Amino acid sequence: MRLRVDPVKCQGYAICTEVAARHFTLDDWGFAQALVVDVDEGDVPAVTEAVRECPVRAIRWIDGPATGGPAPRPAPPAV
Partner 1 sequence: MTGSARREAGTPVVAPPLPILTTVSAARPWAGEDDGLLGPTPFVREDRSGYEARGGHRDRVLLDCGDDRLARLAARPGLPGLLGRGGAAFPALRKIRAVADGVAATGLSPVVVANGAEGEPLSVKDRYLLRYRPHLVLDGLLTVAAALEAPIAHVYVADRAARTSAEAALAELDVPAGGPQVRVFAAQDTYVAGEETAVVRALTTGIARPADKPPRPFQVGVGGAPTLVLNVETLACIARAGLPAGRDAGSTFLATVSGAGRPPVLYELPTGLPLGDLLREHLGRVDSSADVLFGGFFGGILPAWPDLELSHPGVLRRGGSLGCGSLHLLAAPACPVRTTADVVAYYARHNAGQCGMCMASSSAIAATLAELGDPRPGVAYAALLPRWAAQLRGRGACAVPDAIAVLLRALLRSHPQEVTRHLASGCDECRRAPGEPRWGHLLASLPSDGEPVTADGPVGRVPELVPVGVEVR
How many residues make contact with partner 1 (CB under 8 A)? 29
- Give the nearer residue to partner 1 in terms of CB position, either 28 or 45: 28
d(C-alpha 21, C-alpha 6), whole Å: 18
Enumerate residues 6+ apart whose C-beta is below 8 A from 57.
9, 51
Identify which range of 13-21, 24-32, 38-46, 47-55 contacts partner 1 by CB under 8 A: 24-32
18 is an interface residue for partner 1 by CB under 8 A: no
55 is an interface residue for partner 1 by CB under 8 A: no
Could you tell me the end-to-end alpha-carbon distance of the chain, in angstroms, rounded to an integer?
A: 29
